[in-house]
Amino acid sequence: MTSPNLEQSLAKGISKGISDGIGNAIGETLVAAAAIGAIALAVFPSLTPTLKTASGHSFEPITVHIGPHFYDDSPSGSYDYVLERDGSTSVPIPSPCNGTIGGVYFQGVTGGLATGRGAGQIVGVACDGADYWLFGHLIEGSQTKKPGDRIAKGETLGTQGTTGRSSGDHIHNQIHRWTKGDDGVPVRGDRITDRSYTKPLIMAYIEFLRKGQKRSPSNLSTGFNQAYDWTLGKEGGCSDHPADRGGRTYKGIIRSVARRHGYDDPCTIPESKIQEIYLKEYWEPAKCDQWQSGEMQLTCFDTVVNFGLGGWQMFRDQGSRRDGHRHPSLPKDEKEAALAIAQWRLDFRDFRVKEAPDQVVFLRGWRNRDNDLLRKVGG
């Protein structure tokens, strides 16, 4: 049974609920001269295998109603539609991408068409490598993040509402360019009015909402400490093997890394410093905490420790393999993705030995490590 609020939104035409007031109010606050968004397809989970679209939070399918005022021209290039689940229009709104929260603020005055003004509660999401999404008319105070916070694809950003000048619960979307402010918080730039560019993005997002998103249950705890404990157990003590390209090494920390932290000899690094170096040199640069599951966080961390940041990016993106082979796209399910990367690591070892025969001395240990990772993330 359809809720009265939904019937009201559809009957009155949701775009009329934001006409006039929102156009000038948002237009006056736009920031000019922003970076052009990169590949638009990177926003959606079904279209690219990179980290930017890694499996995020689970959510059940959402009914999306597209009414006669789907194309909203207040301001031009906007879109309006209604979310519904189980007869209710108070629906949590999933993020369209992995990204960073930009503007979170209230605009105007809540009321009907005669007394309301502005877009009400607004939340902006700057998608990694793509565009800036503005969501308007959310329930006031329902936002889950503050500016500068990271948000995962599918994670709730707020709840659909009818704040500002609106005739009923609905989503108001605008797509913008954006740039990064001095404080690191995304700054919304020019609104993109070309619907040949924005409509495919909106329709792909709507399809994403209608399908929902499932993740396999994770059997591993998340966080740096859990990944660190496992990986450290795979690293040896002080070593200076002539075939080791990293030279003198202690617990996986090579000389060049040790020197960045004030130690000419890695074997002199105190135990109290080891964990800090792992955090700053591997976990944080690889952004392992952007993954939602323990399986992918561990796979990310162990791979960047064992292969370096460039090696991790190679396996993550599968775009430019030194062995000339491109594996299938990274699975969207994080547990499956972790298993795939662990297997691809195994596959890569043989090529590495052919490329550098003196590395064969490490082959058995590498394979043991990769097989242990396969068992760990597949358990």
Residue 183 has pLDDT above 70, yes or no: yes
For residues 165 and 22, the answer to whether their CB atoms sit within 8 Å is yes
pLDDT in tens, 274-294: 999 999 999 999 999 989 889
Residue 229 CB neighbour total at 10 angstroms: 12
Q: Is the pLDDT of residue 58 over 60?
A: yes
Any idea which of 198-202, 331-335, 339-343 has the lowest mean pLDDT? 331-335
> What is the mean pLDDT of the segment spanning 239-244?
77
Domain extents for the chain?
4-211, 224-378
Give 329's pLDDT tier (boundaries 50, 70, 90): low
CB of 125 closer than 8 Å to CB of 99? yes
Alpha-carbon distance 219 to 335, whole Å? 9
Q: What angle do CA 193, 199, 201 make, to 5 degrees?
A: 110
Q: What percent of the chain has pLDDT over 90?
A: 53
Closest residue by Cα to residue 139 from 198, 83, 184: 83
More confident residue, 323 or 273: 273
| pLDDT above 90: residue 65 | yes
CATH class in words for 224-378: mainly alpha
364 vs 54, residue with greater confidence: 364
What confidence category does residue 13 fall into, taking pLDDT thresholds of 50, 70 and 90? Answer: very low
Chain segment 211-221, per-residue pLDDT in tens: 998 766 777 88
Q: Bigger pLDDT: 242 or 234? A: 234
Residue 367: which pLDDT band, with cuts at 50, 70 and 90? Answer: very high
Mean pLDDT, to the nearest integer, of 32-52? 29
- Amino acid occupying residue 305: V
Please give the pLDDT value at position 105.
97
Three state DSSP letters for 187-229? EEEEECCCHHHHHHHHHHHHHHHHHCECCCCCCCCCCHHHHHH
CA separation for the pair 26, 43 (Å, rounded) = 23
136 or 22, greater pLDDT: 136
**What integer pLDDT is reported at residue 216 of this predicted model?**
66
Confidence of residue 5 (pLDDT cuts 50, 70, 90): very low
**How far is it, in rounded angstroms, from Cα 286 to Cα 309?**
6
Looking at the chain, the whole-number percentage of residues with pLDDT higher than 70 is 82
Compute the distance between CA of residue 9 and CA of residue 200 in angstroms, rounded to an integer: 24
DSSP 76-145: TTEEEEEEEBTTB---EEEPSSSEEEEEEEEEEE-B-TTT-EEEEEEEEEEETTS-EEEEEEEPTT----
Residue 12 pLDDT more than 80? no
Domain 4-211: give its CATH code: 2.70.70.10
DSSP classification of residue 69: T
**pLDDT greater at residue 87 or residue 42:** 87
Helices 224-232 and 294-317 pack at an angle, to 10 degrees, of 70
Q: Euclidean distance between the first and final Cα of the chain, in Å? A: 43
Asked if domains 4-211 and 224-378 share a fold, the reply is no
Task: Using pLDDT thresholds of 50, 70 and 90, give the confidence band for residue 120.
Answer: very high
Q: Rounded to whole angstroms, how far apart are CA atoms 107 and 122?
A: 7
Distance between CA atoms of 78 and 172, rounded to whole angstroms? 7
Q: Quick one: how far is CA 147 from the chain centroid?
A: 15
**Residue 362 pLDDT > 50:** yes
pLDDT at 201: 96
Q: What is the pTM of this model?
A: 0.52
Q: pLDDT category, 350, cuts 50, 70, 90?
A: confident
Q: Is 268 exposed, middle or buried (0-12, 13-18, 19+ CB in 10 A)?
A: exposed
Mean pLDDT, the chain, rounded, equals 81
Q: What distance in Å separates the CA atoms of residue 124 and residue 100, rounded to the nearest whole number?
A: 9
